[in-house]
Chains A and B, each alone.
Chain A
Amino acid sequence: MITIYEAQETLRMISEANLDVRTITMGINLLDCADDDYGAFCRKIYEKIARKAERLSQVGDDISREYGVPVVNKRISVTPVAIAASGCRCGDYVEVARALDRAAQTTGVNFIGGFSALVHKGVTSEDRKLLDSIPQALAETERVCSSVNAASTRSGINVDAVNRVARLLKETAAMTQERDSIGCAKFVVFCNAVEDNPFMAGAFHGAGEGDCAINVGVSGPGVVKHALESVRGADFETLCETVKRTAFKITRVGQLVAQEASRRLNVPFGVIDLSLAPTPAIGDSIAEILQEMGLEQPGAPGTTAAVAILNDNVKKGGVMASSYVGGLSGAFIPVSEDHGMIEAVRAGALTLEKLEAMTCVCSVGLDMVAIPGDTSAETLSGIILDEMAIGMINNKTTGVRVIPVVGKNVGDTAEFGGLLGAAPIMEVNRFGCAPFVARGGRIPAPIHSFRN
């Protein structure tokens, strides 16, 4: 029998520490919508998504009310469009993005991911069409998210693709400049992208997945921070144990919600993604956890170690609490979505280079980082290549979601509104790398990829 103290602990986590389930994401396979008639294909994908996800929002809201735990986002991921639409006779894929946007509106989800291409080794003509369509698609739609996998540990880095991505970021930023280049906030470039990630902007439904799956992203930085307040000054063993125990409890709630959503929607449960994801709200911040651990500001010496032990213990606790763990399962440090990170940037404590260092341990990339709008495509390529290299060599997922905000410079703030928050423009190293990235071609797979 549950005791009154246990009941109150759960309630406190929800009401005071912002415990929530961050997203229920339904992955939908679009391969069976193939059609050489472009219009027919767009109609089929709209109909399939609208049918499969018809009850997704309602079920998410019902579960939220019955269990008393907020389910913040309901989202959809689909088969990478460059694969799903490859049979269509058409010049670009912008119409597909519009169909996805309409499907998202009809089903009431706030983002739909999968306007994507996997080009880590080579670029097909369909991939090229997709890449060419990204700026317009992101400028014209509200809810469509796009991603490109440009590198992997098994195959190396496609530098030509990275250079193409850098140019399309510039185009996207220019096309959405009246809204602080918000188009770039809906795009991420990956190394080692995962097929069952429920989080945006990088969610897509991989080709190895079934027809439909429910993937759930848990969260709760506030709960971890609250728990750490009770062991202030204690040694690292105690610190790690506290994070583990807390992560276990948080993840059990995610597992319950995932299973319940899967049962009610009659869609197989895919994975739980064990990521601590912040929101702009006070008390829902990764930065606050780092400060509670004893850092004056995120970015101070010790930050990489703090992030490493935080996420390692979130995984250790979380893995025990869930039957299937997958997705990104790393620490998200989206600068614009974490008020503590924003303050750290403003205080001069947190730099792009330190954020990059954190991605070597368990952060999943440079996320929601706004940089000056006059940053060159070559420099963007350099920033992306560094992240791809970290992912490739360390056998982990890394991503880059940077926004070169047109017309803004260091000291300014980009306002994206809503979930995407606001980001101070961060300084970029002013030394060039143009001849380096201009070499083009592919960086071969690293030696440790040969494991057979």
Chain B
Amino acid sequence: MTKGIVTVLGKDSVGIIAKICSYMAERNVNVLDIAQTIVSGYFNMMMIVDLSGSSEPIASMTTGLETLGRDIGVVVKLQHEDIFNAMHRI
């Protein structure tokens, strides 16, 4: 399974998760787990997704999600899970 990690950071507003999840669903990406915190109005979310069946390459989804993030006023990043594993797990 190829897993990706989506991180979202920005001011909280209605429908952030919904918009990002629809983007994922449209590309056949399954959401495996979601963690989120809100600290003084700032929305901080991490989503683990399964990219193995996705209909679009990771690189272009990365760009797509950045654009989507700009539209809803948050910073959205999609990265291959391995960079986090490399850095934080031995």
Contact = CB atoms under 8 A, between A and B. Distances in A.
Contact of A65 (B63, B86, B88): B63
A10 B62 contact: no
Nearest to B7: A7
Contacts of B35: 3-4
B64 to A, nearest CB: 11
A6 interface: yes
Interface stretch (A109-117, A153-161, A197-205, A247-255): A247-255
A36 interface: no
A2 B35 CA distance: 10
A8 B86 contact: no
Interface in B43-90: 44-46, 48, 58-59, 62-63, 77-89
A324 interface: no
B5 interface: yes
B58 A65 contact: yes
Q: Which among B37, B48, B58, B87 has the greatest number of chain A C-beta atoms within 10 A?
A: B87
Contacts, number: 72
B36 interface: yes
A253 B7 contact: no
Contact of A252 (B48, B77, B81, B87): B87
Interface string A28-72: 000000000000000000000000000000000010011111000
Given A2-B88, A3-B35, A4-B35, A256 B77 contact: no
Given A4-B37, A65-B63, A253 B87 contact: yes
Binding site secondary structure of chain A: helix
Interface of B: 5, 7, 9, 33, 35-37, 44-46, 48, 58-59, 62-63, 77-89
B62 A66 contact: yes
Interface of A: 1-4, 6-11, 62, 65-69, 249, 252-253, 255-256, 260
Contacts of B45: 4
A256 B7 contact: no
A190 B78 CA distance: 43
Given A2-B88, A2-B89, A4-B46, 10 more contacts: A7-B46, A8-B9, A9-B87, A9-B88, A65-B63, A66-B62, A66-B79, A66-B80, A67-B82, A256-B86
Contacts of A260: 82
Contacts of A1: 33, 48
B9 to A, nearest CB: 8
A57 to B, nearest CB: 14
Nearest to A65: B59
A65 B87 contact: no
A6 B88 contact: yes
Nearest to B51: A66
21 contacts: A2-B84, A2-B88, A4-B36, A4-B44, A4-B45, A6-B84, A6-B88, A7-B7, A7-B84, A8-B44, A10-B87, A65-B58, A65-B62, A66-B80, A67-B82, A68-B62, A68-B79, A249-B88, A252-B86, A252-B87, A260-B82
B49 to A, nearest CB: 12
Of all A-B residue pairs in the complex, the 5 with the closest CB atoms, nearest first, are A68-B79, A65-B59, A256-B86, A252-B86, A4-B46
